Each structure stands twice: as structure tokens, then as C-alpha cells.
A = this chain, B = another copy of it.
Amino acid sequence: MTLRRQARHSLQGLTGLLGHSNRRVRRKKPGQAPGTLLHTGQQQLDQMLMTVHDYDTERCQSLAIDQIDASAPYLGSSTKTWIQVRGLHDVERLQQVMDYFELHPLIQEDILSISQRPKVEPYGEVIFVVLRMIRAEPAADGRPKLKSEQVSLVLGSNYVLTFQESDDTLFDPVIRRLGMKNTRMRRHSVDYLAYALLDNLVDHYFSALDLVSETLEQLEEQVLEQPRPEDLQSIHALRRDLVYFRKSVWSLRDGINSLIRDDSPLITSDVKLYLRDVYDHLVQVIDSIENQREILFSLYDIYMSSLSSRMNEVMKLLTIIATIFIPLTFVAGIYGMNFNPEISIWNMPELNWMLGYPFALGLMASIAGGMLLYFRRRGWL
């Protein structure tokens, strides 16, 4: 019950599930050379963290390193190596890492620009993938929110590099699996590791989708029962969130598809089957987003027509009251006139009738009765 209430809270106010922070980034000045490095996001960590995961069928070890040179023995050997970099604010150290792998200036630039459109780009010796992690997680106030962060991945012949904005535990399940013996991941080449990392990210989209979908269902319930002005703001906020979400996933789908179609020596045909599974999940995510958008449009329509319905009700009440009482009040007004009945028998003789008052009341009652009959016949009562 408390969880439901918390989730419902998230509908109030304008914020939506995604904070505004995602929309503000620093921009490079126009006309700068490509490869000019500027971190466009905010600092999320005290200092950059680097971890080397080195493995083959036999062994697997993970160790934190301080300087990128420390990875040389692992890269030089026949093992497969994953270097995980977290924190993008320290441009100088980051550049050392990227230069060490001789990454193309355009790759270097994109890793640091945190509002990239997701994409998959082959650059000769390596494949560069940039995409957006979106996951549901409890926010400071306990209500679930969407968290969004840019993740970049470089796939070389025997290594994988990943770059994250924060020390999010995102990749922990993959690290755990890497530690197990006799798994596909240990047997396969690094392309399978790259797949596993992508798959992990895409799995999180479903958690985000579930949060959106749950929020939408609560909103739906609310709007169908008793729409409130703040629900309109929730509709708008959710629409914004879906626009952002769709943009974050849409082009990734095409990127993965091109990986499957193209013939890169870096991706074995075996791993392509697995990438097809990732592709399939992305299509499912996009379908769901589209469907939720359509349901959101429908909700707006319902909101609008319920406004009209309620207006109709209000007007009907006013009309019933007014059309019954206005003529009655008029009759009362008639007999409240001060014409002098003593001057002639034409002047308000009713006033002096024995049953003048009951006659007036009866007249009013029949007018009211006629009106009520009329309203009943129209189905208004």
C-alpha cells in the first residue's frame, strides 16, 4: 500500500520521472577542431577509477590501476582484457588512456560529450559504441525515478574499453559472471564480452519501461475515475519522458542492426546471434514506448472530454434550478406589485380573493411541476 502511495506521489508536480538535469549540457564553442576535449557533463566522482579485468578460459583477475601503462602486460599477453573507466571529469588523465589506445580524435570527443545520440561506428581497427543507460532506481526520497547516464564502449581485437560517468554498479552482474569458470563468456573472444555489456544495458531499459508503465497505469486509473488538473501536468511530463526515452533508444537499434549486417572481423557470426537478441529486445522497448505514447494520447482525450462532461453536469444543474425558479420568482414578483386594488376591480383583484394566496402557490406548483416533467422527458433528471 505504501509503495502504491509513493508511486502515486511521483505523479504530482511537474518533474516527471527524469530530472531536468539531463537536458542541460555544456556546449563546445562552434568552430573548434575535432578532438578538442571538453567534458560537457557534471563531475560525478572524486577521481577517475580504472579497473582491469583480465581473463581467458583458465583464469580471471580484476585489479584497480592508477596509470594506464599498468595495463600493458595484460594487453600484450594472449588473454582477453576489459578496461573499465569510471568518471569523465578529469580530462587530462582520460586523454592519457585514450591516447594509449590511439583512439581517433572523434571517438575521444564523443566519449566526453555526454549528450550523444546512441550510435555504433566502425573506425577501422576498432568499433565504437556510445549509448545511454536508463534504469529505474529509488531516488533520495524513496520514490522510484529514472536515472540516465552515458556509457561508451570501444571494442578492439583483444580488448574492450568502457567509459561511464559515475561509479554506477551497472556492470557488476557481468563482472560476477566473468568470475565463473566454464562459461560462454570465458570461452568466447572479447566480442562476446561486448555483447554481454550491451545486453546488460538493454535489460535495464525494461526496468525503466516497467516504471513508466506502472506510472501510466496509475495515471490512467486516476484520470478515468476523477481527473484533476495536476494529472494534465503528469500527462505532459510523461510525454516528455517518453520523447526522451525514445530518442535514447531509437538509433541504438539501427546501430546494433548494422553490426549484425556488416562484416566486421571483430564480430564473430556466433556472437551475431546474440546481438540479434539484443536487437530484438530494443525493438520490443521501442514498440512499448510507442504504445505507451498512444495510450497517453488517449488519456489526454479522456481528460479533455471529462472536463467537458463535468461542465455539462454543472450547466445542467444551473439550468434546472434557474429555469424552475425564475418563472416562480416572476409570479411572486407579480403579486408583490403595489397596484391599488381599491381603485378598480381590474387592479390585482387576486389579492383580495379568499383563496388568492393558495391560488398563487398552486400556480407556482404547476409551473414547477411542468418544468420537472419537461426535464424528466429530456432525461435530465
Contacts and interface: CB of A to CB of B under 8 A. Distances in A.
Contacts of A29: 173, 203
Interface string A152-169: 000000000000000000
- Copies of this chain present: 5
Contacts of A243: 291, 294-295
Nearest to A176: B31
State which size class the interface on A falls in.
Answer: 35 or more
Given A303-B305, A319-B318, A326 B327 contact: no
A343 B337 contact: no
Interface in A257-310: 273-274, 276-277, 280, 283-284, 287, 291, 294-295, 298-310
B339 A346 contact: no
Interface string A339-358: 11001101110111111111
Nearest to A121: B276
Contacts of A344: 354-355
A357 to B, nearest CB: 4
Interface in A144-187: 171-174, 177, 183-185
A30 B173 contact: yes
A27 B346 contact: no
Contacts of A356: 339-340, 343, 346-347
Interface stretch (A48-56, A72-80, A81-89, A328-336): A328-336
B347 A336 contact: no
A229 interface: yes
A285 to B, nearest CB: 10
Nearest to A328: B330
8 contacts: A34-B277, A243-B291, A300-B305, A308-B308, A314-B316, A321-B326, A333-B336, A339-B351
